[in-house]
Amino acid sequence: MFSPYCNNNLHNIVKIKRHADLTYSFINHWMHIRKQSSVITNKIEVSSTNELTDETQFYALEKSVTPLCRVPYERQLILKQQWTNTVCKELRSRLHKAKTMIRLPKVFPISSSPQINEYRNKDEFNFRPGIDGNPKTLGFFVSNPSNGNMYCVPPMKLINMKQSHKDIAQAFEVFVRKSELPASYDHMDGGFWRGIIVRSNLKGDKMAIVVANPRGYTNDIMLDEQRRFNDFLKSININIQSLYFHPSLHTRSSKDSTFILVDGDKYIYEDLCSFKFRISPDSFFQINTLTAEVLYDELFKLINPTKTSTLLDLCSGTGTVSIIGSQHVQSCVGIESVAQAVNDAKETAKLNNIPNCDFIEGKVEMVLKHVMDELSMASNLCTVLNPGRAGVHPKVINAIRNNRLINSLAYVSCKADSPITMKNLVELVVNNKKTRPFTLESIKPVDMFPHTKHCELIFMFKR
Ligand SMILES: C[S@@+](CC[C@H](N)C(=O)[O-])C[C@H]1O[C@@H](n2cnc3c(N)ncnc32)[C@H](O)[C@@H]1O
C-alpha cells in the first residue's frame, strides 16, 4: 500500500546513501593522503583512548584545523592537485548515474599561495571550557578522543594565523576571565561573552568585533563592559584601528546585523590588484589576500572578457570580482545578500573612480530574473558565481540554466566537495528536456588555504 511515510523514508535513505557515496570518495582520498603525510611528518598522534593533555591538545587542534601543516608545501600542492582530479572524477560519475556522459574537463596545474604562513586576514574565536576545566577558554573546539566531549583549545600554535590575531585573542581571554559576567556557549544559557572576531589588512591595521549575548543584560552593563575592554586594550598597548561590539541573539552570530562601533574607524581598507577596498565588520573578503590576487588573475584569464562584455557577478561580496573586472569589460553588475558588503562595494567603486559597476542588494535567487530583464540587450555576458562553502539554492542554478543570455559561467568554489556544491555543479551539466545544459570545459585549482585540506576551484562552464 502507498504510504507517504515509507516513501519519505525511502527518499531519505536514498539521499543519505548518495551523500555517503560522495563523502566516502573524498574521505578515501584524504585517508590516503593522511597515510602519506604521517610517513612524511612523523607526527605526534593523539590516540583514540588518551585524554587530551596540555601538550596533545595543540596537536589535536592542529590535526583538525591545519592537518597538512607538517607536510612540505610542494607536497601539499601535489595532494591538492590529486584531490582536484578526484572531484572531477566524482562529478563525472554522478553525471553518469544521471545518464549524462561528459568528457573529463581540462584540469590546470594548481597555483600556489604567495604566502604560506600567517596568511589569514580574519579569525573567529569562541568560548568553551578548556581541558583544565576553565569555562572561559577562548579558541577552537576539539573533541576529546577519550570521551567525545568538546574542549576549547587556544590557537597559539596554529601557523596559518597571524600573531597579531593571537595576541588580541589572548588579551580578550585575560580580560573576560577577570570579568564577573559568565561566558556564553548558547544563546539561551544566560551567559554573556561569546567570542571575538579579528580582521586585519596587509598593512597590519586591525578590526576586532566582540560578540556577546545581550539576553538579560541592560544597556548600561553592556556599555560599561565595552568601555572597560577598550581601556584594557589601551593599557596593554594593543592598538586596534576599529573596535566593535556585536550583540547577537542567535546561535550563529552572523544572523544579527547590529554592529556598535566602540572606538576607532568604521572600516578597514585593503589593497588588492591595485584597487583599494573598503571592508565593514559584516562583509566578506577573501581570507588570504595575496592568493586572492592570484585567484582573480586566473579567473579573468579563463573568462577572457572583452571591452564589449558585461560582467554579471553573482554573490559579489565586497565587489572584488566586479571592481577588478571593470577595467576589462564594458560594465559590471554585482548581486549580494549582505547589505554592508553591497555598501562597501559601492563605496569602493567611488573611491577608485570606477563608473561602470552597479551593485544590487538581494538574494540571487530572488533578484536574478529582474536583473536579467534589465540586461536583455547586453552583449557577450560573462557570469561569475562565487557562493560560500555551502553552494547555492537550486533556484539559482535553475535561473541560470533558464536564461538564454548566460552562455559562459565561472563557478568559483572554496569547498567543491560539499554536497550542495556538487549538486549545483551536476545540475548545470545534466541533460534535461527543458533547458540547454552547460559543458564543463576546465577546472583551475588555486591554493587559498595552505596547510588545510581546502582549495579554491574555478569551474569554467560554456554552452
Ligand atoms: C565566497 S563569498 C564571495 C564574494 C566575492 N565574490 C569575493 O570574491 O570576494 C560569497 C558571498 O556570497 C554571498 N551570498 C551567499 N549566498 C547568497 C545568495 N543566495 N544571494 C546573494 N548573495 C549570497 C555571501 O554573503 C558572500 O558575500
Over residues 134-167, the pLDDT tens digits come to 999 999 999 887 778 889 999 999 999 999 999 9
CA of 371 to the centre of ligand 1 (A): 17
Q: Which residues line ligand 1 (CB under 6 A)?
A: 284, 286, 315-318, 320-321, 335-338, 341, 363-365, 386-388, 392-393
Q: Which atom of ligand 1 is nearest to the CA of 341?
A: 27
Average pLDDT taken over every residue of the chain: 89
Q: What is the pLDDT of residues 104-114, one digit of tens each?
A: 899 999 999 99
CA of 92 to the centre of ligand 1 (A): 26
Q: What is the pLDDT of residues 195-212, one digit of tens each?
A: 999 999 999 999 999 999
- Average pLDDT value for residue range 378-389: 92
Residue 239 annotated as binding site: no
Kindly tell me the burial class for residue 7, based on how many C-beta atoms sit within 10 Å of its own C-beta (0-12, 13-18, 19 or more): exposed
Residue type, 258: T
Other Cβ atoms within 10 Å of 60 Cβ, number: 23
Q: How confident is the model at residue 31 (pLDDT cuts 50, 70, 90)?
A: low
CA within 13 Å, CB half, 463: 19
On the question of pLDDT at 305 being above 60, the answer is yes
Active site residue 382: no
Q: Which atom of ligand 1 is nearest to the CA of 335?
A: 21
Q: What is the pLDDT of residues 400-417, one digit of tens each?
A: 999 888 999 999 999 999
Q: What is the pLDDT of residues 232-264, one digit of tens each?
A: 999 999 999 999 999 998 766 666 678 999 999
Instruction: Select which of 88, 332, 382, 414 is catalytic.
Output: 414
Task: Report which of residues 35 and 447 the model is more confident about.
Answer: 447
Mutate-to-test residue for ligand 1 from 278, 287, 326, 336, highest number of ligand atoms within 8 A of CB: 336
On the question of pLDDT at 25 being above 80, the answer is no
- Average pLDDT value for residue range 6-33: 48
CA of 279 to the centre of ligand 1 (A): 14
Tell me what pLDDT residue 29 has: 62
Cα dihedral 72→74→80→85 (10° resolution)? -140
On the question of pLDDT at 36 being above 70, the answer is no
- Return the residue whose CA atom lies nearest to atom 12 of ligand 1: 315
Dihedral (CA of 219, 225, 228, 230) sign: negative
Mutate-to-test residue for ligand 1 from 121, 277, 284, highest number of ligand atoms within 8 A of CB: 284
CA within 13 Å, CB half, 2: 1
Tell me what pLDDT residue 16 has: 42
On the question of pLDDT at 37 being above 90, the answer is no
Tell me what pLDDT residue 4 has: 31
- Average pLDDT value for residue range 19-45: 51
Q: Which atom of ligand 1 is nearest to the CA of 387?
A: 10
- Return the residue whose CA atom lies nearest to atom 18 of ligand 1: 363
Tell me what pLDDT residue 377 has: 83
Angle at alpha carbon of residue 381, lines to 372 and 416, rounded to 5°: 90
CA of 60 to the centre of ligand 1 (A): 31
91: CB partners within 8 A, 6+ apart: 102, 422, 425, 426, 429, 440
Mutate-to-test residue for ligand 1 from 315, 323, 389, highest number of ligand atoms within 8 A of CB: 315
Other Cβ atoms within 10 Å of 81 Cβ, number: 16
**Displacement of CA 427 from its chain's centroid (Å):** 22
Q: How confident is the model at residue 35 (pLDDT cuts 50, 70, 90)?
A: low
Tell me what pLDDT residue 188 has: 87
CA distance 258 to 204: 25
CA within 13 Å, CB half, 313: 30
On the question of pLDDT at 424 being above 60, the answer is yes
CA distance 171 to 176: 9
Q: How confident is the model at residue 10 (pLDDT cuts 50, 70, 90)?
A: very low
- Return the residue whose CA atom lies nearest to atom 16 of ligand 1: 387
Q: How confident is the model at residue 52 (pLDDT cuts 50, 70, 90)?
A: confident
CA distance 267 to 332: 24
CA of 449 to the centre of ligand 1 (A): 18
On the question of pLDDT at 5 being above 60, the answer is no
Residue 386 annotated as binding site: yes
Q: Which atom of ligand 1 is nearest to the CA of 295?
A: 8
Tell me what pLDDT residue 11 has: 41
Q: Which atom of ligand 1 is nearest to the CA of 318?
A: 9
On the question of pLDDT at 380 being above 90, the answer is no
- pTM of structure: 0.90
Q: Are 257 and 340 in contact (CB under 8 A)?
A: yes
ipTM > 0.95 (yes/no): yes
CA of 361 to the centre of ligand 1 (A): 11
Cα dihedral 94→95→99→105 (10° resolution)? -140
- Return the residue whose CA atom lies nearest to atom 26 of ligand 1: 317
Other Cβ atoms within 10 Å of 205 Cβ, number: 19
DSSP assignment letter at 99: T
On the question of pLDDT at 332 being above 70, the answer is yes
- Return the residue whose CA atom lies nearest to atom 20 of ligand 1: 363
Q: Which atom of ligand 1 is nearest to the CA of 414?
A: 1
Measured in degrees and rounded to the nearest 5, phi and psi for residue 299 equal -60, -45
Q: How confident is the model at residue 434 (pLDDT cuts 50, 70, 90)?
A: confident
DSSP assignment letter at 254: G
Tell me what pLDDT residue 255 has: 63
- Average pLDDT value for residue range 12-38: 51
Tell me what pLDDT residue 41 has: 38
CA of 420 to the centre of ligand 1 (A): 15
CA distance 431 to 428: 9
Can you tell me which residue has the cell 560578540?
211
CA of 284 to the centre of ligand 1 (A): 7
% pLDDT > 70, the chain: 88
Can you tell me which residue has the cell 571575538?
196
Instruction: Pick the closest to residue 285 from 261, 316, 259, 257 (CA basis).
Output: 316
Instruction: Pick the closest to residue 348 from 287, 290, 292, 285 (CA basis).
Output: 285
Q: How confident is the model at residue 13 (pLDDT cuts 50, 70, 90)?
A: very low
Task: Report which of residues 71 and 15 the model is more confident about.
Answer: 71
Residues in the chain: 463
Q: Are 67 and 46 in contact (CB under 8 A)?
A: no
CA distance 366 to 383: 17
CA distance 381 to 332: 10
% pLDDT > 90, the chain: 77
Q: Which residues of 443-462 are buried (b: 16+ CB within 10 A; e: fewer)?
A: bbbbbbbbbbbbbbbbbbbe
- Return the residue whose CA atom lies nearest to atom 4 of ligand 1: 317
Q: Are 404 and 454 in contact (CB under 8 A)?
A: no
Helices (H) and strands (E) in the chain, counts: 11, 17
Q: How confident is the model at residue 38 (pLDDT cuts 50, 70, 90)?
A: very low
CA distance 272 to 260: 27
On the question of pLDDT at 120 being above 70, the answer is yes
Mutate-to-test residue for ligand 1 from 287, 337, 397, 420, highest number of ligand atoms within 8 A of CB: 337
Kindly tell me the burial class for residue 322, based on how many C-beta atoms sit within 10 Å of its own C-beta (0-12, 13-18, 19 or more): buried
On the question of pLDDT at 43 being above 50, the answer is no
Tell me what pLDDT residue 128 has: 95
